[in-house]
Structure 1
Amino acid sequence: MTKCIRCQVDVADNHLNCPLCGIKLRESIKDTHVSYPEYPQIAKRKKLLVKVWTFVTISIIVFSLAINALTWKVKPIGWSPILSIAVFYIWFLGQDLYQKFNINLVAKTLWNNYLILTVFFLIVDNVTGYGKWSLNFVIPFLGIATGFIMTLWSVKNKSMWRDDIGYILLILGVNVLPFILFLLKAVDVLWPSIASLLYGVMTVVGIFIFSGRRLLYELQKRFHF
Protein backbone atom coordinates (compact mmCIF):
# COMPACT_ATOMS: atom_id res chain seq x y z
CA MET A 1 0.00 0.00 0.00
CA THR A 2 1.05 3.56 -0.80
CA LYS A 3 -0.24 6.56 1.20
CA CYS A 4 -1.42 9.68 -0.65
CA ILE A 5 0.20 12.69 1.03
CA ARG A 6 -2.74 14.95 0.01
CA CYS A 7 -5.76 12.78 0.80
CA GLN A 8 -4.08 10.78 3.61
CA VAL A 9 -5.61 7.52 2.35
CA ASP A 10 -3.91 4.21 1.58
CA VAL A 11 -3.92 3.29 -2.11
CA ALA A 12 -3.21 -0.17 -3.57
CA ASP A 13 0.23 -0.68 -5.06
CA ASN A 14 -1.13 -1.29 -8.57
CA HIS A 15 -2.16 2.41 -8.79
CA LEU A 16 0.36 4.98 -10.00
CA ASN A 17 -1.96 7.91 -9.13
CA CYS A 18 -4.36 8.59 -6.28
CA PRO A 19 -7.94 7.74 -7.46
CA LEU A 20 -9.32 10.69 -5.46
CA CYS A 21 -7.07 13.62 -6.33
CA GLY A 22 -4.98 12.20 -9.15
CA ILE A 23 -1.61 13.05 -7.61
CA LYS A 24 1.23 10.83 -8.73
CA LEU A 25 2.05 8.33 -6.00
CA ARG A 26 5.21 6.77 -7.45
CA GLU A 27 7.26 6.73 -10.61
CA SER A 28 6.23 4.45 -13.43
CA ILE A 29 8.25 1.31 -13.88
CA LYS A 30 9.05 2.51 -17.40
CA ASP A 31 10.30 5.82 -16.06
CA THR A 32 12.46 4.17 -13.45
CA HIS A 33 16.03 3.88 -14.64
CA VAL A 34 18.19 1.27 -12.98
CA SER A 35 21.84 1.51 -13.90
CA TYR A 36 24.05 -1.54 -13.73
CA PRO A 37 27.84 -1.42 -13.95
CA GLU A 38 29.17 -2.49 -17.32
CA TYR A 39 30.72 -5.91 -17.45
CA PRO A 40 34.47 -5.62 -17.83
CA GLN A 41 34.90 -6.97 -21.35
CA ILE A 42 38.47 -5.65 -21.47
CA ALA A 43 39.53 -7.99 -18.66
CA LYS A 44 38.10 -10.93 -20.61
CA ARG A 45 39.99 -9.90 -23.71
CA LYS A 46 43.20 -9.56 -21.73
CA LYS A 47 42.85 -13.06 -20.30
CA LEU A 48 42.17 -14.47 -23.77
CA LEU A 49 45.19 -12.70 -25.25
CA VAL A 50 47.43 -13.96 -22.43
CA LYS A 51 46.21 -17.52 -23.05
CA VAL A 52 46.85 -17.20 -26.79
CA TRP A 53 50.28 -15.73 -26.04
CA THR A 54 51.05 -18.63 -23.69
CA PHE A 55 49.96 -21.21 -26.28
CA VAL A 56 52.07 -19.61 -29.01
CA THR A 57 55.09 -19.50 -26.68
CA ILE A 58 54.75 -23.18 -25.76
CA SER A 59 54.30 -24.09 -29.44
CA ILE A 60 57.46 -22.25 -30.46
CA ILE A 61 59.47 -23.92 -27.70
CA VAL A 62 58.18 -27.42 -28.51
CA PHE A 63 58.71 -27.07 -32.27
CA SER A 64 62.19 -25.58 -31.86
CA LEU A 65 63.27 -28.43 -29.58
CA ALA A 66 61.82 -31.01 -32.00
CA ILE A 67 63.45 -29.44 -35.08
CA ASN A 68 66.80 -29.15 -33.30
CA ALA A 69 66.64 -32.81 -32.27
CA LEU A 70 65.62 -34.02 -35.75
CA THR A 71 68.33 -32.00 -37.52
CA TRP A 72 71.09 -32.74 -34.98
CA LYS A 73 72.95 -35.10 -37.31
CA VAL A 74 72.95 -32.52 -40.08
CA LYS A 75 73.93 -29.55 -37.89
CA PRO A 76 74.96 -30.48 -34.32
CA ILE A 77 74.41 -27.05 -32.73
CA GLY A 78 72.18 -26.69 -29.68
CA TRP A 79 70.30 -23.54 -30.72
CA SER A 80 66.88 -24.61 -29.43
CA PRO A 81 67.63 -24.09 -25.68
CA ILE A 82 68.75 -20.52 -26.45
CA LEU A 83 65.62 -19.83 -28.46
CA SER A 84 63.41 -21.47 -25.82
CA ILE A 85 64.78 -19.36 -22.97
CA ALA A 86 64.57 -16.20 -25.10
CA VAL A 87 60.94 -16.90 -26.03
CA PHE A 88 60.07 -17.73 -22.43
CA TYR A 89 61.73 -14.51 -21.28
CA ILE A 90 59.68 -12.47 -23.77
CA TRP A 91 56.51 -14.26 -22.60
CA PHE A 92 57.32 -13.67 -18.92
CA LEU A 93 58.14 -10.01 -19.37
CA GLY A 94 55.19 -9.35 -21.69
CA GLN A 95 52.45 -11.06 -19.69
CA ASP A 96 53.69 -9.53 -16.45
CA LEU A 97 53.50 -6.00 -17.87
CA TYR A 98 50.36 -6.51 -19.96
CA GLN A 99 48.14 -8.50 -17.62
CA LYS A 100 48.60 -6.68 -14.32
CA PHE A 101 51.36 -4.32 -13.29
CA ASN A 102 51.50 -3.73 -9.56
CA ILE A 103 54.10 -1.35 -8.14
CA ASN A 104 54.33 -3.50 -5.03
CA LEU A 105 55.59 -6.41 -7.16
CA VAL A 106 58.44 -4.59 -8.91
CA ALA A 107 61.11 -6.12 -6.66
CA LYS A 108 59.73 -9.61 -7.29
CA THR A 109 59.66 -8.94 -11.04
CA LEU A 110 63.28 -7.74 -10.99
CA TRP A 111 64.35 -10.81 -9.03
CA ASN A 112 62.60 -13.15 -11.49
CA ASN A 113 64.15 -11.20 -14.35
CA TYR A 114 67.61 -11.71 -12.81
CA LEU A 115 67.08 -15.47 -12.47
CA ILE A 116 65.79 -15.91 -16.03
CA LEU A 117 68.63 -13.87 -17.57
CA THR A 118 71.21 -15.75 -15.48
CA VAL A 119 69.95 -19.10 -16.77
CA PHE A 120 69.74 -17.73 -20.32
CA PHE A 121 73.35 -16.50 -20.42
CA LEU A 122 74.63 -19.68 -18.80
CA ILE A 123 72.93 -21.74 -21.51
CA VAL A 124 74.25 -19.49 -24.28
CA ASP A 125 77.76 -19.69 -22.83
CA ASN A 126 77.56 -23.47 -22.54
CA VAL A 127 76.18 -23.96 -26.06
CA THR A 128 78.81 -21.70 -27.64
CA GLY A 129 81.78 -23.52 -26.10
CA TYR A 130 81.70 -22.41 -22.46
CA GLY A 131 84.20 -19.58 -22.38
CA LYS A 132 83.07 -18.69 -18.83
CA TRP A 133 82.14 -15.16 -19.91
CA SER A 134 78.74 -15.64 -18.27
CA LEU A 135 80.29 -16.40 -14.87
CA ASN A 136 83.22 -13.99 -15.24
CA PHE A 137 81.36 -10.89 -16.40
CA VAL A 138 77.60 -11.20 -17.03
CA ILE A 139 76.39 -12.59 -13.70
CA PRO A 140 78.40 -10.18 -11.47
CA PHE A 141 77.30 -7.07 -13.37
CA LEU A 142 73.74 -8.36 -13.78
CA GLY A 143 73.56 -8.72 -10.00
CA ILE A 144 74.93 -5.21 -9.48
CA ALA A 145 72.47 -3.69 -11.97
CA THR A 146 69.49 -5.56 -10.53
CA GLY A 147 70.37 -4.62 -6.96
CA PHE A 148 70.95 -0.98 -7.91
CA ILE A 149 67.61 -0.64 -9.75
CA MET A 150 65.77 -2.45 -6.95
CA THR A 151 67.30 -0.21 -4.26
CA LEU A 152 66.57 3.00 -6.19
CA TRP A 153 62.96 1.96 -6.79
CA SER A 154 62.41 1.02 -3.15
CA VAL A 155 63.93 4.25 -1.81
CA LYS A 156 62.00 6.41 -4.31
CA ASN A 157 58.65 4.78 -3.51
CA LYS A 158 59.40 4.28 0.21
CA SER A 159 58.59 0.59 -0.07
CA MET A 160 61.94 -0.77 1.14
CA TRP A 161 60.79 -1.55 4.66
CA ARG A 162 57.21 -2.42 3.78
CA ASP A 163 57.60 -4.79 0.83
CA ASP A 164 61.06 -5.03 -0.72
CA ILE A 165 63.61 -5.54 2.07
CA GLY A 166 63.62 -9.32 1.65
CA TYR A 167 64.33 -9.09 -2.08
CA ILE A 168 67.00 -6.43 -1.56
CA LEU A 169 68.88 -8.55 0.98
CA LEU A 170 68.48 -11.58 -1.30
CA ILE A 171 69.98 -9.83 -4.31
CA LEU A 172 72.79 -8.42 -2.15
CA GLY A 173 73.54 -11.96 -1.02
CA VAL A 174 73.69 -13.03 -4.65
CA ASN A 175 76.36 -10.37 -5.24
CA VAL A 176 78.66 -12.31 -2.91
CA LEU A 177 78.26 -15.47 -5.03
CA PRO A 178 80.73 -14.51 -7.85
CA PHE A 179 83.54 -14.08 -5.31
CA ILE A 180 82.70 -17.48 -3.77
CA LEU A 181 82.84 -19.00 -7.27
CA PHE A 182 86.27 -17.42 -7.74
CA LEU A 183 87.50 -19.01 -4.51
CA LEU A 184 86.17 -22.33 -5.81
CA LYS A 185 88.08 -21.71 -9.09
CA ALA A 186 84.90 -21.71 -11.16
CA VAL A 187 85.64 -18.09 -12.18
CA ASP A 188 88.87 -16.97 -13.86
CA VAL A 189 88.62 -13.14 -13.76
CA LEU A 190 88.76 -11.62 -10.29
CA TRP A 191 87.88 -7.93 -10.66
CA PRO A 192 84.16 -8.33 -11.64
CA SER A 193 83.69 -10.59 -8.61
CA ILE A 194 85.41 -8.03 -6.36
CA ALA A 195 83.22 -5.24 -7.81
CA SER A 196 80.08 -7.30 -7.14
CA LEU A 197 81.23 -8.11 -3.59
CA LEU A 198 82.07 -4.46 -2.84
CA TYR A 199 78.71 -3.30 -4.15
CA GLY A 200 76.87 -5.74 -1.89
CA VAL A 201 78.95 -4.86 1.18
CA MET A 202 78.71 -1.08 0.66
CA THR A 203 74.97 -1.23 0.10
CA VAL A 204 74.46 -3.15 3.34
CA VAL A 205 76.71 -0.65 5.16
CA GLY A 206 74.71 2.24 3.70
CA ILE A 207 71.40 0.68 4.79
CA PHE A 208 72.72 0.22 8.34
CA ILE A 209 74.05 3.79 8.50
CA PHE A 210 70.88 5.47 7.24
CA SER A 211 68.34 3.20 8.92
CA GLY A 212 70.00 0.63 11.16
CA ARG A 213 67.28 0.36 13.81
CA ARG A 214 64.54 0.08 11.25
CA LEU A 215 66.44 -2.63 9.40
CA LEU A 216 66.99 -4.62 12.60
CA TYR A 217 63.32 -4.27 13.52
CA GLU A 218 62.25 -5.48 10.06
CA LEU A 219 64.63 -8.44 10.20
CA GLN A 220 63.37 -9.40 13.67
CA LYS A 221 59.78 -9.18 12.47
CA ARG A 222 60.41 -11.29 9.39
CA PHE A 223 62.82 -13.90 10.73
CA HIS A 224 61.55 -14.03 14.37
CA PHE A 225 64.82 -13.66 16.25
Structure 2
Amino acid sequence: MQHYCSNCNIYTKQQYCPLCKYKLSEKLEDNTYYPVYETKVQRRRFAQRLVLFIAFFVISTSLLINLLTDPHPLWFLYVLGPVLYTLLLINHTILSKAHTGSKVIFQVIALSIMLFILDAASGSSRWSIHYVIPFLVTLATLFVTIIVLRKPMKWREYIGYMTTMVILGFLPAILFLSSWSTVLWPSAATALYALLTLIGMILFSEKTMKNEIVRRFHF
Protein backbone atom coordinates (compact mmCIF):
# COMPACT_ATOMS: atom_id res chain seq x y z
CA MET A 1 0.00 0.00 0.00
CA GLN A 2 1.05 3.56 -0.67
CA HIS A 3 -0.06 6.66 1.15
CA TYR A 4 -0.61 10.01 -0.53
CA CYS A 5 0.20 13.37 1.02
CA SER A 6 -2.01 16.11 -0.43
CA ASN A 7 0.19 18.80 1.12
CA CYS A 8 3.44 17.72 -0.54
CA ASN A 9 1.91 15.85 -3.48
CA ILE A 10 4.01 12.75 -2.94
CA TYR A 11 3.44 9.06 -2.37
CA THR A 12 5.10 7.10 0.40
CA LYS A 13 4.82 3.73 2.10
CA GLN A 14 5.23 5.39 5.46
CA GLN A 15 2.26 6.31 7.62
CA TYR A 16 3.62 9.85 8.08
CA CYS A 17 4.79 12.16 5.31
CA PRO A 18 8.62 12.37 5.32
CA LEU A 19 8.46 16.08 4.43
CA CYS A 20 5.69 17.65 6.47
CA LYS A 21 5.24 14.84 9.02
CA TYR A 22 1.51 14.89 8.40
CA LYS A 23 -0.30 11.67 9.29
CA LEU A 24 -1.54 10.00 6.14
CA SER A 25 -4.78 8.13 5.92
CA GLU A 26 -5.57 7.95 2.19
CA LYS A 27 -4.20 4.79 0.64
CA LEU A 28 -3.42 4.02 -2.97
CA GLU A 29 -2.58 0.72 -4.58
CA ASP A 30 0.68 0.50 -6.50
CA ASN A 31 -1.17 -0.23 -9.74
CA THR A 32 -3.92 2.39 -9.39
CA TYR A 33 -3.10 4.06 -12.68
CA TYR A 34 -3.22 0.88 -14.75
CA PRO A 35 -7.00 0.31 -14.44
CA VAL A 36 -7.56 3.93 -15.54
CA TYR A 37 -5.38 3.39 -18.62
CA GLU A 38 -7.04 0.06 -19.39
CA THR A 39 -10.45 1.71 -19.12
CA LYS A 40 -9.46 4.33 -21.70
CA VAL A 41 -8.17 1.63 -24.05
CA GLN A 42 -11.35 -0.40 -23.63
CA ARG A 43 -13.51 2.65 -24.31
CA ARG A 44 -11.53 3.48 -27.44
CA ARG A 45 -11.82 -0.11 -28.71
CA PHE A 46 -15.53 -0.16 -27.96
CA ALA A 47 -15.97 3.11 -29.87
CA GLN A 48 -14.05 1.70 -32.84
CA ARG A 49 -16.18 -1.45 -32.90
CA LEU A 50 -19.35 0.60 -32.58
CA VAL A 51 -18.36 2.77 -35.54
CA LEU A 52 -17.52 -0.37 -37.53
CA PHE A 53 -20.91 -1.89 -36.73
CA ILE A 54 -22.73 1.30 -37.70
CA ALA A 55 -20.81 1.42 -40.99
CA PHE A 56 -21.75 -2.18 -41.84
CA PHE A 57 -25.35 -1.46 -40.88
CA VAL A 58 -25.61 1.63 -43.10
CA ILE A 59 -23.89 -0.04 -46.07
CA SER A 60 -25.90 -3.28 -45.91
CA THR A 61 -29.19 -1.44 -45.39
CA SER A 62 -28.51 0.89 -48.31
CA LEU A 63 -27.54 -2.00 -50.56
CA LEU A 64 -30.68 -3.95 -49.65
CA ILE A 65 -32.97 -0.97 -50.26
CA ASN A 66 -31.24 -0.24 -53.56
CA LEU A 67 -31.64 -3.83 -54.79
CA LEU A 68 -35.26 -4.13 -53.65
CA THR A 69 -36.42 -0.84 -55.13
CA ASP A 70 -34.47 -0.12 -58.28
CA PRO A 71 -31.09 -1.81 -58.86
CA HIS A 72 -30.37 0.55 -61.77
CA PRO A 73 -28.69 2.86 -61.11
CA LEU A 74 -26.71 1.76 -58.07
CA TRP A 75 -27.17 4.84 -55.89
CA PHE A 76 -25.82 2.65 -53.11
CA LEU A 77 -22.33 3.61 -54.32
CA TYR A 78 -22.97 7.18 -53.21
CA VAL A 79 -23.35 5.82 -49.68
CA LEU A 80 -20.52 3.28 -49.83
CA GLY A 81 -17.68 5.73 -50.49
CA PRO A 82 -18.47 8.31 -47.78
CA VAL A 83 -19.27 5.63 -45.18
CA LEU A 84 -16.00 3.76 -45.77
CA TYR A 85 -14.07 7.01 -45.61
CA THR A 86 -15.83 8.07 -42.41
CA LEU A 87 -15.03 4.66 -40.93
CA LEU A 88 -11.33 5.09 -41.62
CA LEU A 89 -11.37 8.74 -40.53
CA ILE A 90 -12.81 7.91 -37.11
CA ASN A 91 -11.17 4.55 -36.39
CA HIS A 92 -7.70 5.15 -37.85
CA THR A 93 -7.22 8.92 -37.83
CA ILE A 94 -9.14 10.11 -34.76
CA LEU A 95 -9.32 7.16 -32.35
CA SER A 96 -6.15 5.35 -33.37
CA LYS A 97 -2.69 5.93 -31.87
CA ALA A 98 -1.08 5.35 -35.27
CA HIS A 99 1.80 7.50 -36.50
CA THR A 100 0.90 10.84 -38.09
CA GLY A 101 2.65 9.86 -41.32
CA SER A 102 0.59 6.69 -41.50
CA LYS A 103 -2.60 8.68 -40.92
CA VAL A 104 -1.73 11.09 -43.76
CA ILE A 105 -1.06 8.26 -46.21
CA PHE A 106 -4.24 6.39 -45.30
CA GLN A 107 -6.22 9.62 -45.62
CA VAL A 108 -4.88 10.19 -49.14
CA ILE A 109 -5.64 6.62 -50.19
CA ALA A 110 -9.09 6.59 -48.58
CA LEU A 111 -10.08 9.98 -50.01
CA SER A 112 -8.85 8.95 -53.45
CA ILE A 113 -10.86 5.71 -53.38
CA MET A 114 -13.98 7.46 -52.09
CA LEU A 115 -13.81 10.17 -54.76
CA PHE A 116 -13.11 7.60 -57.46
CA ILE A 117 -16.21 5.63 -56.40
CA LEU A 118 -18.32 8.79 -56.45
CA ASP A 119 -16.85 9.70 -59.82
CA ALA A 120 -17.68 6.27 -61.24
CA ALA A 121 -21.20 6.36 -59.81
CA SER A 122 -21.89 9.80 -61.30
CA GLY A 123 -21.02 8.81 -64.85
CA SER A 124 -17.25 8.32 -64.76
CA SER A 125 -16.13 11.67 -66.15
CA ARG A 126 -12.83 10.94 -64.38
CA TRP A 127 -12.65 14.30 -62.63
CA SER A 128 -11.22 12.48 -59.62
CA ILE A 129 -8.27 11.11 -61.61
CA HIS A 130 -7.74 14.26 -63.67
CA TYR A 131 -7.64 16.82 -60.88
CA VAL A 132 -8.54 15.80 -57.34
CA ILE A 133 -6.20 12.85 -56.69
CA PRO A 134 -3.07 14.68 -57.97
CA PHE A 135 -3.99 17.65 -55.78
CA LEU A 136 -4.48 15.41 -52.72
CA VAL A 137 -1.11 13.71 -53.21
CA THR A 138 0.67 17.05 -53.60
CA LEU A 139 -1.04 18.51 -50.54
CA ALA A 140 -0.25 15.47 -48.38
CA THR A 141 3.40 15.47 -49.48
CA LEU A 142 3.64 19.16 -48.64
CA PHE A 143 2.04 18.54 -45.23
CA VAL A 144 4.56 15.82 -44.30
CA THR A 145 7.41 17.99 -45.61
CA ILE A 146 6.33 20.88 -43.37
CA ILE A 147 6.27 18.56 -40.34
CA VAL A 148 9.81 17.41 -41.07
CA LEU A 149 11.09 20.95 -41.68
CA ARG A 150 9.55 22.22 -38.43
CA LYS A 151 10.93 19.29 -36.42
CA PRO A 152 14.18 18.12 -38.03
CA MET A 153 14.64 15.55 -35.28
CA LYS A 154 11.67 13.66 -36.75
CA TRP A 155 13.41 13.29 -40.13
CA ARG A 156 14.47 9.69 -39.52
CA GLU A 157 11.01 8.90 -38.15
CA TYR A 158 9.26 10.22 -41.27
CA ILE A 159 11.59 8.99 -44.00
CA GLY A 160 9.49 5.93 -44.78
CA TYR A 161 6.34 8.00 -45.09
CA MET A 162 8.11 10.63 -47.18
CA THR A 163 9.34 7.89 -49.50
CA THR A 164 5.81 6.53 -49.84
CA MET A 165 4.45 9.99 -50.66
CA VAL A 166 7.13 10.49 -53.31
CA ILE A 167 6.15 7.18 -54.92
CA LEU A 168 2.46 8.16 -54.82
CA GLY A 169 3.45 11.45 -56.47
CA PHE A 170 4.38 9.61 -59.65
CA LEU A 171 1.10 7.65 -59.68
CA PRO A 172 -0.93 10.35 -61.54
CA ALA A 173 1.74 10.44 -64.27
CA ILE A 174 1.48 6.67 -64.59
CA LEU A 175 -2.30 6.99 -64.88
CA PHE A 176 -1.83 9.57 -67.64
CA LEU A 177 0.64 7.38 -69.54
CA SER A 178 -1.78 4.46 -69.28
CA SER A 179 -4.58 6.68 -70.71
CA TRP A 180 -6.64 6.58 -67.53
CA SER A 181 -6.14 10.32 -67.28
CA THR A 182 -6.28 12.65 -70.27
CA VAL A 183 -5.36 15.93 -68.55
CA LEU A 184 -1.60 16.34 -68.46
CA TRP A 185 -0.81 19.35 -66.27
CA PRO A 186 -2.09 18.07 -62.87
CA SER A 187 -0.24 14.77 -63.31
CA ALA A 188 2.91 16.52 -64.52
CA ALA A 189 2.82 19.05 -61.67
CA THR A 190 2.41 16.29 -59.07
CA ALA A 191 5.24 14.23 -60.55
CA LEU A 192 7.49 17.32 -60.66
CA TYR A 193 6.76 18.12 -57.02
CA ALA A 194 7.50 14.50 -56.06
CA LEU A 195 10.80 14.66 -57.96
CA LEU A 196 11.76 17.95 -56.29
CA THR A 197 10.89 16.49 -52.87
CA LEU A 198 13.09 13.48 -53.58
CA ILE A 199 15.99 15.71 -54.67
CA GLY A 200 15.54 17.86 -51.58
CA MET A 201 15.59 14.78 -49.36
CA ILE A 202 18.89 13.70 -50.89
CA LEU A 203 20.57 17.13 -50.89
CA PHE A 204 19.59 18.40 -47.44
CA SER A 205 19.54 15.25 -45.35
CA GLU A 206 22.39 13.87 -43.29
CA LYS A 207 24.86 11.39 -44.77
CA THR A 208 23.29 8.42 -43.03
CA MET A 209 19.89 9.48 -44.24
CA LYS A 210 21.18 9.93 -47.80
CA ASN A 211 22.47 6.38 -47.73
CA GLU A 212 19.07 5.20 -46.51
CA ILE A 213 17.27 7.09 -49.29
CA VAL A 214 19.65 5.73 -51.92
CA ARG A 215 19.13 2.22 -50.55
CA ARG A 216 15.35 2.59 -50.63
CA PHE A 217 15.30 3.88 -54.24
CA HIS A 218 18.13 1.56 -55.40
CA PHE A 219 20.21 4.35 -57.00
Short-chain TM bin = 0.7 to 0.9
Change (3 A) 1:98 1:121: closer
> What is residue 64 of structure 1 aligned with on the other side?
62
Checking the alignment, whether the CA contact within 8 Å between 2:156 and 2:209 is kept in structure 1 is no
> What is residue 23 of structure 1 aligned with on the other side?
none
**CA–CA separation in structure 1 for the residues paired with 2:164 and 2:43:** 36
**CA–CA separation in structure 1 for the residues paired with 2:210 and 2:84:** 38
How big is the alpha-carbon RMSD for the aligned residues of Structure 1 and Structure 2?
2.7
> Once the two structures are aligned, what percentage of the paired residues are identical?
28
> What is residue 94 of structure 1 aligned with on the other side?
90
| Length, aligned pairs only | 193
Checking the alignment, whether the CA contact within 8 Å between 1:161 and 1:218 is kept in structure 2 is no
**CA–CA separation in structure 2 for the residues paired with 1:135 and 1:97:** 24
Compare CA radii of gyration and give the structure with the larger one. 1
Checking the alignment, whether the CA contact within 8 Å between 1:61 and 1:83 is kept in structure 2 is yes
Answering whether residue 28 of structure 2 is matched by residue 35 of structure 1, we say yes
Match of 1:85 among 81, 84, 87: 81
Change (3 A) 1:183 1:50: closer
Match of 2:146 among 140, 144, 152: 152
Q: CA deviation at 1:109?
A: 0.7
TM-score, with length taken from structure 1:
0.75
Q: Secondary structure at the match of 2:28?
A: coil
Q: CA deviation at 1:215?
A: 2.9
Q: CA deviation at 1:189?
A: 1.0
Structure 2's unaligned 5+ residue stretches are: 1-14, 16-23
Q: CA deviation at 1:210?
A: 1.1
Checking the alignment, whether the CA contact within 8 Å between 1:82 and 1:120 is kept in structure 2 is no
Give the alignment of 1:136-215 within 5 angstroms. Answer: 136-158=130-152, 160-211=154-205, 213-215=207-209
Larger helix proportion of the pair: 2
**CA–CA separation in structure 2 for the residues paired with 1:182 and 1:100:** 35
